[in-house]
Chain A
Amino acid sequence: MSFQPVKFYQTGTFTVGNRLLPPEERSVQAQTKRFNSINSGHRACQGCGEALGARYAVDAAMEAANGQLICANATGCLEVFSTPYPETSWQVPWIHSLFGNTAAVATGIAAALKVKQLKGERRDIRVVAQGGDGGTTDIGFGCLSGMFERNDDVLYICYDNGGYMNTGIQRSSATPPAARTATTLAVGDEPGNLFGQGKFVPAIAMAHEIPYVATATVADLRDLEAKVRRAMAIRGARYLHILVPCPLGWGTASHETIRIARLAKETGIFPVFEAEHGELKSVLAIRRPLPVEDYLKPQKRYAHLFAPKARLEVIARLQQLADRNIRRYGLLEGN
């Protein structure tokens, strides 16, 4: 008979919590008294992936830093919905300066804290910088690259929702090919965003050979938390790129946010991996492989691929991109 010792926990670590797991193996988000670094009352849209991803990530960082954490935040949805005067949702020390300078602001904070610690004036306090994909891959890219290159002691978290959602869903360099945005409308011969443009910043971060680079999605909380924990255990420049579906920008139902993120990972559209010093260290393997259509169909930003007529050649090109990710990162290995 097949025998498996009792290390089976019904849902394992797929769910947020699991009453059967030993407490030390439960997620930060499962704790009754979790930090709620970003508090209720924020003005994010219903089902906002970024609000969720930010709480997941910053709470995990708070846990890892024993509450000794400072956050710098780029201009963007996260900043706007969390801190409209006279209310802030943040329960961590937090600063918003500009759209394109968050990595540098974080560098400055880290530098200040280092000196203050040397002087014995402050404890060891860690620094997280966070921004959307526009603030990271586009306007903030220079500062980000500088922070990487100097190996400043900052964990930079990019919440990638594939566009400038705060300004009304315009294209960013993280907008995927074929996706409709307000500046890549679904009109003309090549509707939606063009193929062959954009950039995948995690790979560029790896090229800086910084100590730690990882990707994650809001669909795999444990993986996300483990990566934050891992990142926080390392000193120097670290980069975490989290895919956070945007119901408004992607044209998805508000309740589907996590499901869509899961589909992005399971189809290979978004590779989930971690790298150290420029070398790939592990991947979160695809659990139940799916064709890209399953990911594209629920999203109105890809509606032009299915109606009025199916653009099979475009879907095939997107499938090729997913297949390339699967091959490049070995996303089916370990299954």
Chain B
Amino acid sequence: MLKQIEGSRAVAEAVALCRPEVICAYPISPQTHIVEALGEFVKDGTLAPCEFINVESEFAAMSVAIGSSAAGARTYTATASQGLLFMAEAVYNASGLGLPIVMTVANRAIGAPINIWNDHSDALSQRDSGWLQIFAETNQEALDLHIQAFRLAEELSLPIMVCMDGFILTHAYERVDMPTQAQVDAYLPKYEPRQVLDPAEPVSIGAMVGPEAFMEVRYLAHAKQMEALKLIPGYAAEFREVFGRDSGGLTHTYKADDAETMVVAMGSLLGTIKDVIDEMRAAGHKIGVLGITLFRPFPIAQVREALHGAQRVVVLEKSLAVGLGGILATNVRMALSALPIDVYTVVAGIGGRPITMRSLHALFREAERDDIDPVTFLDLNHDVVDKQLARERSTRRSGPAAEAILRDIGVVAAKVAQEVR
């Protein structure tokens, strides 16, 4: 059924169609609308039986999810940014215990300085947590991916983060095709846990494992993740059969056939990039796009296959590995190891900085000329940073950088930044 609804609501409805049994919620922007809607469904009886638990922190949210999942219930939660970091210990624990929790991460920057807007720093900070991570490009894909996520997580007995860009997707009203309950039921089998807390078979879950077996346990976690690479294409194909549309998968290319320049990105940014590519293709540029849907496990073979014919690769990412450059770019480089291809890291849109088509046009053209730095910060205000650097060189007690920069930029911007959480 086609609907014009907010992305969060679309995800909430899709999650509800997956018949979760326990949902834990702790408010943090920009995921709040998702759990608000689910809370409504549980309270009004639309989603039943289901326990909706208002927990006291994200740490508790993930912990409740751990308990619930270990007891055999299909379990869902959502978070973002600081919340994801606050639950980090439990995030690792959930994957270590092999509990197929599905969690939406409404991607948002991490402070300080505190910032509620979109980038991928939060999800990518947990890239080694043992969770599967998939990134939605559109609201349609976001809701579709949640349905696939339950299937994948429960089959592998691994938790999964469905990442969608905060505000850009979560708060955007778009037309979506909402599946029917029958379709979801046909696609998503009943959860059969691989292990469960059960008085009939009273196993101990969460043993202390020493050097004699820890390596093996971690290897098995890795091996299990790698299995997702094999399963996902099948699940995507099956999804197409049941729902009649393409969604999910490992990676997607766009106008990549003869591309000399390939742009790589994740999430909603891909839409903007495609529009720019369309215009550049029309102008005769040989440029294409690789969109990465599955970030963990990282589809090395597919990325290499998609990019190996290009002369250069521009990785446009909403994250920054401070002191190195890019996170996604580093992963892409690994996929291209030993190939004579230049890989440019472009850090863009962090903390919600708009990525405009104009800037992308300029960037891609510079890239085609190999006229950009290996690590480029898109639309960085050099005047501001130079001024601050100069201030710090001249004054020992130079004060907090963020506030100083806000003063330099102006009052209006400062007011925006004060809206917290």
Which residues of A are in contact with B by a Cβ distance under 8 Å? Answer: 67-70, 72-73, 79-80, 82-86, 88, 90-98, 100-101, 104-116, 118-119, 122, 125, 142-143, 145-146, 149-150, 152
Chain A nearest Cβ from B219, distance in angstroms: 15
Which residues of B are in contact with A by a Cβ distance under 8 Å? Answer: 21-22, 24, 49-51, 53-57, 59-60, 62-73, 75, 89-90, 93, 97, 197-199, 201-210, 212-213
Q: CB within 8 A of B59: which of A80, A108, A142?
A: A142
- Asked whether, in the complex, the Cβ of B90 is within 8 Å of the Cβ of A97, the reply is yes
- Asked whether, in the complex, the Cβ of B50 is within 8 Å of the Cβ of A115, the reply is yes
Q: Which residues of A contact B203 (CB under 8 A)?
A: 88, 93-94
Q: CB within 8 A of A101: which of B63, B73, B198?
A: B63
Closest residue of chain B to A80 (Cβ to Cβ) is B208
Q: CB within 8 A of B69: which of A108, A114, A118, A142?
A: A108
State in angstroms the CA–CA spacing of A84 and B207 once bound together: 6
- Asked whether, in the complex, the Cβ of A92 is within 8 Å of the Cβ of B202, the reply is yes
Chain A nearest Cβ from B22, distance in angstroms: 5
- Asked whether, in the complex, the Cβ of B71 is within 8 Å of the Cβ of A112, the reply is yes
Of the listed residues B22, B50, B57, B71, the one surrounded by the most CB atoms of chain A closer than 10 A to its CB is: B71
- Asked whether, in the complex, the Cβ of A101 is within 8 Å of the Cβ of B208, the reply is no
State in angstroms the CA–CA spacing of A111 and B59 once bound together: 17
- Asked whether, in the complex, the Cβ of A72 is within 8 Å of the Cβ of B67, the reply is yes
- Asked whether, in the complex, the Cβ of A69 is within 8 Å of the Cβ of B63, the reply is no
Known: A90-B204, A95-B205, A96-B206. A150 touches B199 (CB 8 A): no
- Asked whether, in the complex, the Cβ of B67 is within 8 Å of the Cβ of A107, the reply is yes
- Asked whether, in the complex, the Cβ of B207 is within 8 Å of the Cβ of A85, the reply is yes
Q: Which residues of B contact A79 (CB under 8 A)?
A: 206, 208
- Asked whether, in the complex, the Cβ of B97 is within 8 Å of the Cβ of A97, the reply is yes
- Asked whether, in the complex, the Cβ of A108 is within 8 Å of the Cβ of B66, the reply is yes
10 further A-B pairs in the complex, CB-CB below 8 A; given A79-B208, A108-B65: A70-B199, A86-B207, A90-B202, A95-B97, A95-B206, A101-B59, A105-B63, A108-B69, A112-B68, A113-B71
Known: A101-B90, A104-B64. A94 touches B204 (CB 8 A): yes
Q: Which residues of B contact A72 (CB under 8 A)?
A: 67
- Asked whether, in the complex, the Cβ of A108 is within 8 Å of the Cβ of B71, the reply is yes
Chain B nearest Cβ from A150, distance in angstroms: 7
Q: Which residues of A contact B56 (CB under 8 A)?
A: 142-143, 145-146, 149
- Asked whether, in the complex, the Cβ of B64 is within 8 Å of the Cβ of A107, the reply is yes
- Asked whether, in the complex, the Cβ of B202 is within 8 Å of the Cβ of A95, the reply is no
Q: Which residues of B contact A108 (CB under 8 A)?
A: 22, 24, 53, 63-71, 73, 75
State in angstroms the CA–CA spacing of A80 and B207 once bound together: 8
State in angstroms the CA–CA spacing of A101 and B22 once bound together: 17
- Asked whether, in the complex, the Cβ of A112 is within 8 Å of the Cβ of B67, the reply is yes
Q: Which residues of A contact B207 (CB under 8 A)?
A: 83-86, 88, 96
Known: A70-B71, A88-B207, A118-B49. A93 touches B60 (CB 8 A): no
Closest residue of chain A to B61 (Cβ to Cβ) is A104
Known: A115-B49, A150-B53. A143 touches B63 (CB 8 A): yes
State in angstroms the CA–CA spacing of A111 and B50 once bound together: 8
State in angstroms the CA–CA spacing of A115 and B197 once bound together: 14
- Asked whether, in the complex, the Cβ of B68 is within 8 Å of the Cβ of A101, the reply is no
State in angstroms the CA–CA spacing of A95 and B64 once bound together: 13
Q: Which residues of A contact B51 (CB under 8 A)?
A: 111-112, 114-115
Show 10 residue pairs from A and B whose CB-CB distance is below 8 angstroms, ordered by the A residue: A83-B208, A95-B67, A97-B206, A101-B62, A105-B66, A105-B70, A107-B60, A111-B64, A115-B50, A125-B199
Closest residue of chain A to B56 (Cβ to Cβ) is A146
- Asked whether, in the complex, the Cβ of B21 is within 8 Å of the Cβ of A104, the reply is no
Closest 5 CB pairs of A and B: A108-B67, A112-B73, A146-B56, A101-B63, A104-B63
Q: CB within 8 A of B213: which of A85, A98, A119, A143?
A: A85
Q: Which residues of A contact B208 (CB under 8 A)?
A: 79-80, 83-85, 96
Closest residue of chain B to A108 (Cβ to Cβ) is B67
Closest residue of chain A to B97 (Cβ to Cβ) is A97
Closest residue of chain A to B71 (Cβ to Cβ) is A112
Q: Which residues of A contact B90 (CB under 8 A)?
A: 97-98, 101
Q: CB within 8 A of B199: which of A69, A80, A83, A105?
A: A69
Chain B nearest Cβ from A92, distance in angstroms: 5
State in angstroms the CA–CA spacing of A92 and B62 once bound together: 24
Q: CB within 8 A of A104: which of B67, B70, B201, B206?
A: B67
State in angstroms the CA–CA spacing of A110 and B54 once bound together: 14
Q: CB within 8 A of A98: which of B49, B89, B197?
A: B89
State in angstroms the CA–CA spacing of A98 and B212 once bound together: 21
Q: Which residues of A contact B54 (CB under 8 A)?
A: 150
State in angstroms the CA–CA spacing of A105 and B62 once bound together: 8
Of the listed residues A86, A109, A145, the one surrounded by the most CB atoms of chain B closer than 10 A to its CB is: A109
Q: Which residues of A contact B66 (CB under 8 A)?
A: 95, 97, 101, 104-105, 108
Q: Which residues of B contact A146 (CB under 8 A)?
A: 55-57, 60
- Asked whether, in the complex, the Cβ of A105 is within 8 Å of the Cβ of B205, the reply is no
Chain B nearest Cβ from A88, distance in angstroms: 4
State in angstroms the CA–CA spacing of A125 and B70 once bound together: 14
Closest residue of chain B to A73 (Cβ to Cβ) is B206
Of the listed residues A73, A86, A96, the one surrounded by the most CB atoms of chain B closer than 10 A to its CB is: A96
State in angstroms the CA–CA spacing of A69 and B200 once bound together: 10
- Asked whether, in the complex, the Cβ of A111 is within 8 Å of the Cβ of B22, the reply is yes
Of the listed residues A67, A92, A105, A119, the one surrounded by the most CB atoms of chain B closer than 10 A to its CB is: A105
Closest residue of chain B to A154 (Cβ to Cβ) is B67
Q: Which residues of A contact B59 (CB under 8 A)?
A: 100-101, 104, 142-143
Closest residue of chain A to B205 (Cβ to Cβ) is A95
Q: Which residues of A contact B68 (CB under 8 A)?
A: 108-109, 111-112
Q: Which residues of B contact A101 (CB under 8 A)?
A: 59-60, 62-63, 66, 89-90, 93
State in angstroms the CA–CA spacing of A98 and B206 once bound together: 9
State in angstroms the CA–CA spacing of A73 and B97 once bound together: 14
Of the listed residues A110, A111, A118, A149, the one surrounded by the most CB atoms of chain B closer than 10 A to its CB is: A111
